[in-house]
């Protein structure tokens, strides 16, 4: 279970990094109304991708401390997806929620806890 959770975290990292690049593209070439805010959002998404990559790497190396931030990230993603679904954007919310629910389930699994304890 831990291995699948780590791969899912790395997939989410790749999506965040791609999103950061797209946001930077729009900030540079699409002339947004508030360029500094656009750069800030793109930078924030990139920082989140870097942090998620660090957490995924920690879990791949079986570091127990990586589990809690990974679970927090998954739960925040579920909440964001639920907000989008309830505000009339299920096309955006459901693809955000489903991998997060799977990821949280994998991270809460007893076999994941056992793998991180070194059993």
Report pLDDT digits (tens) over 67-84: 999 999 999 999 999 998
Q: Please list, in sequence order, all residues whose beta carbon lies within 8 angstroms of the beta carbon of residue 117, skipping any fewer than 6 positions away.
A: 64
The predicted structure's pLDDT at residue 31: 87
The predicted structure's pLDDT at residue 118: 72
pTM (predicted TM-score): 0.87
- 16-25 contacts at long range (C-beta below 8 A, 24 or more positions apart): 16/45, 16/46, 16/48, 16/49, 16/52, 17/46, 17/49, 19/45, 19/49, 20/45, 20/46, 20/49
Report pLDDT digits (tens) over 5-31: 999 999 999 999 999 999 999 999 998
Domain ranges of the chain: 2-117
3-state secondary structure of 44: helix
């Amino acid at each position: 279970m831990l291995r699948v959770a780590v791969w899912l975290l790395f997939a989410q990292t790749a999506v965040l990094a791609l999103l950061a690049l797209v946001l930077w593209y729009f900030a540079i070439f699409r002339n947004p109304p508030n360029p500094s805010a656009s750069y800030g959002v793109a930078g924030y998404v990139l920082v989140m991708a870097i942090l998620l990559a660090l957490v995924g790497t920690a879990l791949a190396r079986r570091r127990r401390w990586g589990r809690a931030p990974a679970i927090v990230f998954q739960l925040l993603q579920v909440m964001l997806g639920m907000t989008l679904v309830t505000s009339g954007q299920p096309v955006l919310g459901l693809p955000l929620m489903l991998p997060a629910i799977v990821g949280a389930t994998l991270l809460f699994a007893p076999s994941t806890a056992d793998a991180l304890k070194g059993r």
